[in-house]
């Protein structure tokens, strides 16, 4: 298990290109990564049983790899998201719940009726451009610009956001970095994750 610590910021589409050339990002960039297309399929039951328990299950395609991720409810403090997550390699349309270390989750997914009921409920499909930033404080942050969409059936929602993920150091550096960026860019706190936006689109009328 790992704990994901990140801060999400919504950015105006017209500022997206300017963001990658921002002087602060340029000055702090230690490593650039080639853009990736990330296709993530989120699974749940027809009545969104997992969402009601604040659990998210997705299969994500990254290049030729498929990665299974299971996340549980975390917390949001001053816009910084902290969530426990379990990841492992898999293949298309294949779950490997037996490898989850948490005994409660493993017992939940051992139920054959639940496994049989899982089906795709929504998809996130976006391009991600990443930079690894080294801050003067010694903190290391991965900065990602995501552009694409969420779709559930015929319904669509756009994605245009920045994620600042802590790789090492003090989580408070995320808010400090965001504040400096917001001084010259149209950035707003994004307290709702892509997954939660997808659930709201796909599971409307079903309370978590």
pTM value is 0.89
The proportion of the chain whose per-residue pLDDT surpasses 90, expressed as a percent, equals: 75
**pLDDT of 58:** 97
Can you give the pLDDT at residue 206? 54
pLDDT, tens digit, 9 for 90 and up, residues 27-72:
999 999 999 999 999 999 999 999 999 999 999 999 899 999 999 8
CA pseudo-torsion sign 195, 22, 127, 1: negative
pLDDT digits (tens, 9 = 90+) for 124-176: 999 999 999 999 999 999 999 999 999 999 999 999 999 999 999 999 999 99
Sign of the dihedral defined by the CA atoms of residues 23, 24, 29, 33, in that order: negative
What are the residues whose beta carbons fall under 8 Å from the beta carbon of 196, sequence distance 6 or more? none
At residue 208, does pLDDT exceed 50? no
Q: What class does CATH assign to 2-202?
A: mainly beta
Average pLDDT score over the chain: 91
């Amino acid at each position: 298990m790992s704990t994901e610590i990140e801060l999400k910021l919504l950015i105006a589409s017209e500022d997206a290109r300017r963001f990658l050339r921002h002087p602060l990002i340029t000055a702090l960039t230690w490593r650039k990564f080639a853009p990736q297309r990330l296709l993530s399929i989120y699974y749940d039951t027809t009545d969104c049983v997992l969402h009601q328990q604040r659990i998210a299950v997705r299969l994500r395609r990254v290049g030729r790899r498929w990665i299974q991720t299971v996340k549980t409810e975390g917390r949001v403090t001053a816009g910084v998201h902290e969530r426990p997550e379990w990841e492992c390699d898999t293949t298309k349309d294949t779950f490997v719940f037996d490898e989850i270390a948490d005994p409660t989750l493993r017992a939940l997914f051992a139920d054959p009726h639940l496994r049989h009921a899982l089906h795709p409920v929504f998809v996130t499909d976006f391009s991600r451009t990443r930079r690894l930033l080294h801050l003067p404080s010694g903190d290391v942050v991965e900065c990602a610009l995501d552009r694409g969409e969420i779709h559930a059936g015929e319904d669509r929602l756009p994605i245009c956001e920045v994620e600042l993920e802590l790789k090492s150091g003090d989580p408070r550096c995320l808010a400090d970095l965001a504040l400096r960026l917001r001084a010259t860019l149209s950035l707003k706190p994004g307290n709702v994750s892509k997954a939660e936006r997808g659930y709201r689109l796909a599971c409307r009328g079903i309370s978590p």
